Structure 1
Amino acid sequence: MPGPGEIQPDVKLRAVQLIEALGSWPPGGSGAAAAGARVAALGGVDTALVSQAGPLLPTADQAALQVIDAQYGGILADSASVLVVCDQWTAASPTGPVTAGGTTVDVRLSAAAPRWTVTALHPAAPGAAAGSLSAAASSVLADSRIELPPAALADVRSGSVHDSVLQAMLTLARTYSMSVSVVRSGHPLDVFGTTRPSDHPLGRAFDVWRINGRTVVDPTTPQDLVDGFMRAAAAAGSYNVGGPRQLSGGTTPNQFFTDDTHHDHVHVGFNS
């Protein structure tokens, strides 16, 4: 549920409700037709979006989905991207074993009344696990202070994340515990509202939504905690650190930035 610190809270709620409806069903409730009925029950959502659900609709007798976080991939006056990060558990039969999974979905919306309209779904596509990984990737996967959701975990296992990102995670984890929302997959290809490529799909960025157990978006989270994390990210080599406040200083004039999109997470980007 959106908290008091959210910008346009119902935009996030709309996205989350759709992902929950698509990715959870009782025994015998699998398939596109049943998913369409769940979506129709929400009201005001196009059931054709079922065809874009991808990994949210595996072949399974039943499924349960839990949203880990919903953060903005972009928010403008008339359009938005909400990145819905989730765990999902499925069972192939009523008495069969439970399989853990999950994904991140870039949910696109446009402004409308009384509620914003979902226009498209872009599920993460992390790629297959690599045969071998760098020492940095292996260390990140073993570090209990770096919490990776399913799609981000698959990104690291795929070997497609630059060591600059991984080394920064390890450096930050010496001081902070952090919950990562997005690394490479599940993020818009371009910086939202522009034609400028994002560093995320290139494997050169990661976003953090929770630091030392405190969410970035919560107004009660100490500002010094988030600001200190941002400065530590810059010291770890990031050329582009975004967050809920504009920080002074930096090695370049634009090393720190803020906007509505980044009020709910810290973005840590690298140029190589």
Structure 2
Amino acid sequence: MRQGSNFLWFLRAAVGAAILLGAVLLTACGSVEDVDLTPACPTGVGRGIWDPGSLEGKDAGPEVRKLLESPRFGATPQAVRDLERGIVDQRLIAALRTLTQEHRICVRAFKEGHYFLPGVEDGPRIPEGYGKAGGLPNTHYYGRAADVWWVDGKPVEGNATDQDVMEIGEILAGIPSGRRPDQIIGPPRWARDLGYGNQRGWILAPDQLELHRDHIHIGYVNGEATNETR
């Protein structure tokens, strides 16, 4: 009887310790449902586990490291290289970090690997034939633009009015003046239902909205201060 009692005490102690450990973990991390380990990019598109050693000897800055370390941020290998090389504008990095506070996003391109037209290499100007924007400065070329193709695991195409995709626009609109992107373009229904205007950074030219049915373009027109005023 004494041996059985000792075993029962040990079993109860072990169960109690397991419950206490679970409570501590939930307090630190939130509920199980709050811990989303789903990759930000679809399988075969974005990076896997990012190697912090890839930044050794490079001056990409702490904000780049924080963005790349976030489990809510995903990007193609080309986009990751742009970040590691310091090509991407710091304001854009800050805007993306703001988005990842609430959503998982996958960036397909900054500069490397971006094309307006198939087979036409990107340059300082948007090529003729890309709607009515031909000849305008190419913000991708200068590292001042990002194309977000997936939000919380869902493609932007076909999900323009999805709540999570809509919230991306709301978060962008909420970034304070002076730091907010001034070149925001997305699917026609997304732009229409959000209802923001040019003063908030939205580009509403019908031809550009049609060309952005499958992704959200987030950019800064100028190298320093942005154009939006409110």
The interval holding the TM-score normalised by the smaller chain is 0.5 to 0.7
Where in structure 2 are there 5+ consecutive unaligned residues? 1-40, 48-54, 115-121, 129-133, 225-230
TM-score by length of 2: 0.57
Cα distance, 1:163–1:233 mapped onto 2, change above 3 Å: same
- Tell me the distance in 2 between the aligned counterparts of 1:260 and 1:192: 17
Cα distance, 1:214–1:133 mapped onto 2, change above 3 Å: same
Instruction: Name the structure 2 match of 1:241.
Output: 184
Point out 4+ residue stretches in structure 1 off by more than 4 angstroms: 85-88
CA displacement at 1:231 relative to structure 2? 2.8
Cα distance, 1:154–1:267 mapped onto 2, change above 3 Å: same
- Indicate the RMSD between aligned Cα atoms, in angstroms: 2.8
SS at match of 2:211: helix
Instruction: Name the structure 2 match of 1:191.
Output: 126
Contact 1:211/1:226 (8 A) holds in 2? yes
TM-score by length of 1: 0.49
Instruction: Name the structure 2 match of 1:59.
Output: none
SS at match of 1:180: strand
Give the residue type in structure 2 aligned to 1:200.
Answer: H
- Tell me the distance in 2 between the aligned counterparts of 1:170 and 1:263: 23
Deviation track 1:131-186 (CA, whole Å, cap 9, x = no partner) reads 22212111111111110110000000001111101111110000110011111212
Check if 1:212 corresponds to 2:166. no
CA displacement at 1:228 relative to structure 2? 2.2
Deviation track 1:97-150 (CA, whole Å, cap 9, x = no partner) reads xxxxxxxxxxxxxxxxxxxxxxxxxxxxxxx98622212111111111110110
Instruction: Name the structure 1 match of 2:168.
Output: 229
SS at match of 1:259: helix
Contact 2:46/2:74 (8 A) holds in 1? no
- Tell me the distance in 2 between the aligned counterparts of 1:87 and 1:239: 26
- Tell me the distance in 2 between the aligned counterparts of 1:157 and 1:234: 27
Q: Percent identity?
A: 23
Instruction: Name the structure 1 match of 2:102.
Output: 175
Find 2:84's aligned residue among 157, 176, 183: 157
Contact 2:82/2:112 (8 A) holds in 1? yes
Cα distance, 1:181–1:129 mapped onto 2, change above 3 Å: farther
CA displacement at 1:234 relative to structure 2? 3.3
Give the residue type in structure 1 aligned to 2:111.
Answer: R
CA displacement at 1:255 relative to structure 2? 2.2
- Tell me the distance in 2 between the aligned counterparts of 1:163 and 1:195: 25
Contact 1:234/1:250 (8 A) holds in 2? no
Give the residue type in structure 1 aligned to 2:74.
Answer: E
CA displacement at 1:87 relative to structure 2? 7.4
Contact 2:46/2:106 (8 A) holds in 1? no
CA displacement at 1:198 relative to structure 2? 1.1
Higher-helix-fraction structure: 2
Find 1:146's aligned residue among 73, 80, 92: 73
Instruction: Name the structure 2 match of 1:255.
Output: 202
Higher-strand-fraction structure: 1
Instruction: Name the structure 2 match of 1:132.
Output: 59
Give the residue type in structure 1 aligned to 2:141.
Answer: P
Give the residue type in structure 2 aligned to 1:218.
Answer: G
- Tell me the distance in 2 between the aligned counterparts of 1:230 and 1:192: 27
Contact 2:149/2:215 (8 A) holds in 1? yes
Contact 2:147/2:217 (8 A) holds in 1? yes
1:65-76 matched pairs, under 5 angstroms: none
Give the residue type in structure 2 aligned to 1:169.
Answer: L
CA displacement at 1:249 relative to structure 2? 2.5
